[in-house]
Structure formats: structure tokens, C-alpha cells
Amino acid sequence: MAIVNNTNTFNKYSGLLIAVTLFLLFNLSVLGLNFYTSSTLDNDAISINLAGRQRMLSQRTAKVLLTIQVDAAQGKFNDKNTAELKKVVLLFDATLNAFKSGGQVLGGDEKAVTLNKVSDSAATKAVDAALTIWQPYKQLLTPVINSQVVEESSLDAATDYARDHNLKLLTLMNDLTTQLEKNTKAKAGNLKLIQTIALVLSLLLFGNIVFNALRKLRAADGEIEKAQRETTEILNTVKEGLFLLDPELLIGTQFSSSMNKILQHDISAKVPFMPILEALVSAEVFSQATNYISLLFGNKVKENLILSLNPLMQVRVYSTTSNNIASAPRYLSFQFNRVIEDKRVLHLLVTVQDVTEQVTQAEELLKLKGQSNINLDFLRKLLEADSFQLQQFLKNTNTGLSALNTILANADKRASNHDDLANQCFRIVHSIKGESAAMGLEAIEAYAHQFEEHLSLLRKKTNWDTQEVLSLPVMLSALFDQISQIEVIVNAIQLHLESANTTQKQTSVSSSISHNLTRLAAQVSQNQNKNVRLNLSLALLDQVETKTAIQLQQIGIQLIRNSICHGIETAAARAAKGKPPHGEITISTQMTPQGAIHFSVRDDGQGIVPARIRAAMVASGRYSIEMVDQLTDKEVVKKLFEPGFSTASTADKDAGSGVGMDLIQSLVNEIGGELKIDTKPDVFTQFTFRIAQHKAPAINLESNLFDSTVNVLERVT
């Protein structure tokens, strides 16, 4: 892991490291060049100094030689002058030869110094010319130096040569000195230029390093800010409580916004966690949790071995209201995961979920499973039920529940929104509820209605969390159990009849449907405290496919409920309008000359009035007055088929969920046919479905409904 991290670090900062390396190498190179040039200038300074001394030595040689000649003219001889002449001649000769070939000579401090030979042509020319003059001069001076007495002939010859060539020699040494100074100035200028260029390049390299470093830092800061924003978005979005717990049991600086709601406590960074937990759970659970968390921070204990020991997996928590009144118990689930680095536990990642609803529903389900759900009255109704209808009901219900289970199982994979999911669930459950009510199976109807009520609560929410979606399968399980028990009883009855060579009397489809619709109308009338008479003429249903007949029965169920709950008035209201106290619903089938069947449901209630629908739309809170005013009467009537819309002020078991008309639209689309609505205020409403005798091509309900709305408006106005 360390090797991988080092490699990643190098790759991340490779450009910066290369730039720094080049900067260092360049500066080292310039430093070396400066050192070399400085050394050369030191040598040049020695050369210039010694070249200047050569001028002085040439003059001094001539002066000492003339002094000796003057002493000789007076008959004197001073060996000090001879010694000085010897010293000056040797020093001048050694220095001049060193300029020619290089070597060590005495410096101005009488110490040996290394003198480099001259290399440029002008200096070499001056040295060569000086040697040409100096060699004969040196030979003439040698006898004078070595003599212990004055030899006038040697002295005069040397003196004459000095008079003739000393100025030339002095000039050549001046030229040498000047040339050496010129060369040194040129080198110093080059060094200055190099240093200037090096300084500029160094500044550019340094600027590049700083620029790249700042760019890297800016990019790193951007990534950090992006990661912080994403972390904040995640923590503000997740429904679960998320936070880090350090070894001192303090809450970290980052935690989800839902923490305050779930723990019902004001959470802030670096707040001790254990006092919060102690206020939520019992003393026994708190003690167990303290030991468990201590174990998790222990490096020697394997996490997967102690997961099952978690005392906070599903724990009951307590809280009080602002009036110090104990509120209803809640259930929380705490999950702990270690954050490990270098085999050390740095933090615990804690996930907190409110599982109150799941626990409560599971407990209710266990209670339901522990009871005998099939009582004698229910068993009597099963025995009295039409065998054909019961088999069709079980088949349709199992199909619907399986479809519902599939929808819920794939709820997290759906691309559509929650409203779409709720509407699909509503159609299935409402269909089961209607059929069970028509057959008198009140237990199934009650379960389906409970499911619908829960869906209604969810549909009012903008966002659903995972727990709310998971609560639906728990309720679905209860429905499955009820249907399974009915199947067991029905199969047992069937086996009993077969073993006794007894068969149930088979009734026609139309008779069976008529029986169910009559029973439903009586039940809903009683629930709504209304007096309703149902007139049926359904013989033609025996001539259509069984599946279509059952679908038409479902349409009849929904429209009977709709007529009684929304259309037909109470006895007092009907009397005020001059109507008979009992309302009438007529469901009939007619054959057209073309062989099509008209299935119509007519009631003598208050009719469909767009103004009433508009008022219900505004009262629902889903539409503003401005939005409603912009709609035509055709568009307003179409709202009756919108999922979730109802003109009822309150919802009950029979109406108000806004599902019935949506289910009718779905059934008509599935059957394939045409829907026509005729109505007159305070007189009647009639829904007519035109279907082929056998099977017709599917026709979009919405387009036919839109066209038929013209009939509605014509009769209303």
C-alpha cells in the first residue's frame, strides 16, 4: 500500500519535482561556472600584478646599473648594489620566462605563486619581443653581477645597452600589462553577462515552479472543495443518520442533517456521543453498548466476529415532549463500521436508521398471523359464494398481488417517479378491494382499504424514503396470507364435493355478476345512508369472453360506488328536488345491429357539473384558482379520470381516494373500446362503453373521452 501511495504521489507531483530538479541543476552549473571564472580572474589578477612589477623591475635594473657606474667613476665599489642588481635581474628573468611558458615565481609578498603563460596573441607578441631584448641584456649584466671589482668594459657595455633598450623593454611590459588588464575586463564582462542571464533564467525557472505549485495547489483545493461539496450534499440528502465517532467517543465534524431529527437531539461537532445515547436507551442497553463500542475500538478484536453482539441493532428509544410527557416509543437501528489505517482503528462510522414503522408493522403482522382470520361468518360466505366467481376472484387477486409485489421489489430501480408507482399500486389494490366487496369478503376488503390508506399518506409526500417503501411489502404479506387461507379452504371444499360425488350448481356469468353487483350496491347504500335501487339487465355478458365480462364487472363496481357516493343524493335532498326518495342505478347491456355490445351504467343523481368539479379542484389544493380558470369545461371533465383526484370532501372505504375513475380508464384501455358520457344536471349521468362482441382493437380512452365530453357539455348547458 505504501509503494502504491508513493507512486501516486510521484505521478501527481512529477512536473513540480522535475522543475525543482532542473532549477537546482541549473543553479549548481552557474555556481560552478562562477567558481571557474573567479579562479581564472584570480590568476589574471596575479598576472596583471606581476606584469606591472616587470615594468618596475626593468626601471630598477637600469637605475641600479647606473648607480654602480657612478660609483665606479668615483672609484667606489658597493657590493650591496651588485647584490640588488642580481636579485632584480633574477626576478625579472624568472617572471618573463613564466609569462612565456608558465611556472612558479615569487609574488609581491615574497611567496611563490603560479603564473600561467599568456595565451592571446598580443600578450604573447609582447612577451616574445621582451625576451628578444632581454636575453642580450641579461648576458651583458651577468659579468657585472658576478664581478667582485669594477670592470669598466663590461659595465659600460651593459650601461650602453640599458640606455638603448630600457625604454623599449618598459614599453613592452606596459603593453603586456595593458593587454592582460584588457583580457581580464573582457572575462569580467562575460562573467557579468553570464550571471545576468543565469539570474534571469533562475527567476524564470523559479516563477515556473511557483506557478506550477500554485496551479497544483489550486487544483488540489478545487478537488477538496468538490469533495467537501459532494460530502455535504450526500449528508444533507441521506435519510439515515451518518457520523464518525473518534476513540474519545466524540462526534466528528461531518454528519448528516437528518441526525437531529432521528436522535431528537441538537447535534454538533465534537459533542460527546455517549450522553446522547444514555438519554435514549435503558441503563442495561447503555451498559452493553458502552462495552460493545469499547470492543470495536480494540485492535485485537475482529469486527465480523462481534457484529452479532451489537445491542443497538434494533433498540427501543424513549423521548419526551416539550411538556415532559413521554411520547410514543420509537425504534432505532445503529450500525458500526471500523475505519482502519495501518492496522489501527481511527474512527467508527455510525449509521442510524429510524425503523419504528417496520418494527410496528412487523409486530402487527405477527399479531394478525397469531389470530384465526377465518371466522364462521367468513366461512359461510365462502360456502355461499359462486364457485366460478370465487375462482376468478382468487385468480385475479393472485395475479394482481404478484404484479404488486414485482412493482414494489423493483421500486428502487424505477425511472418513473413515486406518483407513477403509487398510481399503479392503487389500481391493483382498488380492483381487489372492489371485487372482494362485491363478493362480501369483508376481511379482504378491509386489508385492501388499509393498504390504500397507507398509499394515500405516501402520495401526499414529496419524497419517499427507503423505510416508507419497505413498509408496503409488510402490508402486502398480510393480503397474501388471507388469500392463501381462502385458497386452502376453497380447495378443501372442492375436494370434499368431489369425494362425495357432489357438484355445485353452476350459475351463468351474467347471474353471478348480477348477484355480486346487487350485494355491493346494498352494502355501499347502507354505508352511505342512502336508499338506492339497482336495476340490472346483463344477459348479453354470457356472450362475451369471460375475462371481458369480469373486467366489465369491475367497471360496474367502480361506477356503482361512484354513483352512490357522488351522484345520488340523500333522501332529503332528493325530496327537495322533487325526486323520489330512492335513487336508481340501471346497468344494462344492448346489442347493436353491427354486433357490438353497449355496456351502460346510468343513475338519476345530480349529474356531472363542471362548476362543481372546478370547486373540488381548488379545494384539493392541487390547483390554484388561476389555473382552474384557464381550463375549458372539456379539460375540467377530463380531471375526473386523473389519478388521485376526487370530488369527495373526505375519504372513506367506499370513495374519496381518487382511484375509481383512473381504474375505469385503465380497464377500458385494456378491453379496447369507446367511452361516452352523457349527463344533465340534477337529472342523470350515463357512462356507455361500446365493445366488440368478441375482441376489439385497443382504442385510447383519452381521445374518446375528449370527444364525448362535447355530449356532456351540450346536455349540461
What is the model's pLDDT at position 584?
Answer: 93
Is the residue at 677 inside a domain? yes
Is the residue at 615 inside a domain? yes
Is the residue at 225 inside a domain? no
Helices (H), 500-570: 509-528, 546-562
Per-residue pLDDT, averaged over 332-352, amounts to 85
Indicate if 699 and 559 belong to the same structural domain: yes
**Closest by Cα among 297, 299, 300, 279 to 336:** 297
Dihedral sign (CA 411, 414, 418, 423): negative
**Closest by Cα among 534, 712, 529, 688 to 633:** 712
The pLDDT confidence band at residue 710, using thresholds 50, 70 and 90, is very low
Is the residue at 687 inside a domain? yes
**Gap between the Cα atoms of 255 and 262, Å rounded:** 12
What is the model's pLDDT at position 372?
Answer: 43
**Gap between the Cα atoms of 594 and 277, Å rounded:** 76
Q: pLDDT for 161-174, tens place per residue?
A: 888 888 888 888 88
Burial letters for 319-336: b for 16+ Cβ neighbours within 10 Å, e otherwise? eeeeeeeeeeebbbbbeb
Strand partners, 414: none
Q: What percent of the chain has pLDDT over 90?
A: 4
Beta strands, E only, 639-683: 674-680
Is the residue at 22 inside a domain? yes
**Gap between the Cα atoms of 421 and 380, Å rounded:** 37
Helices (H), 500-545: 509-528
What is the model's pLDDT at position 416?
Answer: 47
**Gap between the Cα atoms of 564 and 654, Å rounded:** 9
CB proximity list for 175: less than 8 A, separation 6 or greater: 122, 126
Q: Are 227 and 316 in contact (CB under 8 A)?
A: no
The C-alpha cell that represents 273 in the structure block: 456521543
Per-residue pLDDT, averaged over 661-675, amounts to 81
Q: Are 350 and 292 in contact (CB under 8 A)?
A: no
Per-residue pLDDT, averaged over 656-672, amounts to 79
Indicate if 414 and 517 belong to the same structural domain: no
What is the model's pLDDT at position 322?
Answer: 53
Q: pLDDT for 89-117, tens place per residue?
A: 888 888 888 888 888 888 777 788 888 88
Domain termination residue (choose one: 457, 474, 506)? 506
Please state whether beta strands 532-537 and 583-591 pair in parallel, antiparallel, or not at all (unpaired).
parallel
Domain termination residue (choose one: 485, 506, 527)? 506
**Closest by Cα among 401, 438, 707 to 559:** 438
Indicate if 685 and 536 belong to the same structural domain: yes
Indicate if 530 and 410 belong to the same structural domain: no
Taking the alpha carbons at both ends of the chain, their separation in whole angstroms is: 82
Q: pLDDT for 527-561, tens place per residue?
A: 888 899 999 998 888 888 888 888 888 888 889 98
Torsion of CA 384, 385, 387, 393, to 10 degrees: -160
Indicate if 415 and 387 belong to the same structural domain: yes
Q: pLDDT for 470-527, tens place per residue?
A: 667 767 777 777 787 777 777 777 676 666 665 555 678 888 888 888 988 898 888 8
449 pLDDT above the threshold of 70 = yes
Indicate if 287 and 323 belong to the same structural domain: yes
What is the model's pLDDT at position 292?
Answer: 84
**Gap between the Cα atoms of 566 and 613, Å rounded:** 11
Domain termination residue (choose one: 354, 389, 408)? 354
Q: pLDDT for 409-427, tens place per residue?
A: 776 554 445 667 777 787 8
Q: pLDDT for 280-326, tens place per residue?
A: 888 888 888 888 888 888 766 666 666 667 888 888 887 655 555 55
**Gap between the Cα atoms of 471 and 358, Å rounded:** 6
Provide the edge-to-edge strand list for the sheet that holds 674-680.
532-537, 583-591, 596-603, 684-692, 674-680
The pLDDT confidence band at residue 371, using thresholds 50, 70 and 90, is very low
Is the residue at 220 inside a domain? no
**Closest by Cα among 169, 36, 32 to 44:** 36
More confident residue, 9 or 233: 233
**Gap between the Cα atoms of 503 and 388, Å rounded:** 12
* Burial of 206: CB neighbours in 10 Å, binned 0-12, 13-18, 19+: middle
Which of 131-140, 229-238, 504-513, 658-667 bottoms out in mean pLDDT, i.e. has the lowest?
229-238
**What are phi and psi for residue 383, nearest 5 degrees?**
-70, -35
What is the model's pLDDT at position 601?
Answer: 94
Q: Are 278 and 272 in contact (CB under 8 A)?
A: no
CB atoms within 10 A of CB 592: 10
706 pLDDT above the threshold of 50 = no
Beta strands, E only, 374-496: none
Indicate if 502 and 512 belong to the same structural domain: no
**Gap between the Cα atoms of 439 and 486, Å rounded:** 13
46 pLDDT above the threshold of 90 = no
CA neighbours closer than 13 Å in the CB half-sphere of residue 381: 16
What is the model's pLDDT at position 518?
Answer: 92
What is the model's pLDDT at position 376?
Answer: 57
Indicate if 34 and 103 belong to the same structural domain: yes
Indicate if 95 and 202 belong to the same structural domain: yes
What is the model's pLDDT at position 407?
Answer: 77
700 pLDDT above the threshold of 50 = no
Per-residue pLDDT, averaged over 374-394, amounts to 69
More confident residue, 458 or 131: 131
The pLDDT confidence band at residue 12, using thresholds 50, 70 and 90, is low
Indicate if 501 and 526 belong to the same structural domain: no
What is the model's pLDDT at position 327?
Answer: 64
Provide the edge-to-edge strand list for the sheet that holds 344-354.
251-255, 241-245, 344-354, 330-341, 315-317
Q: Domain containing 469 — which CATH number?
A: 1.20.120.160
**Gap between the Cα atoms of 56 and 63, Å rounded:** 10
User: Mean pLDDT over all residues of the chain?
Assistant: 78
Is the residue at 228 inside a domain? no
Residue 551 is part of which domain span?
508-717
What is the model's pLDDT at position 455?
Answer: 74
**Gap between the Cα atoms of 128 and 536, Å rounded:** 145
What is the model's pLDDT at position 471?
Answer: 64
Is the residue at 655 inside a domain? yes
User: Domain tally for the chain?
Assistant: 4
**Gap between the Cα atoms of 98 and 104, Å rounded:** 7
**Gap between the Cα atoms of 64 and 16, Å rounded:** 71
Indicate if 570 and 645 belong to the same structural domain: yes
Q: Domain containing 252 — which CATH number?
A: 3.30.450.20
Q: Domain containing 685 — which CATH number?
A: 3.30.565.10
Indicate if 688 and 641 belong to the same structural domain: yes
Global pTM value: 0.47
What is the CA angle 675-678-681, rounded to 5? Answer: 145
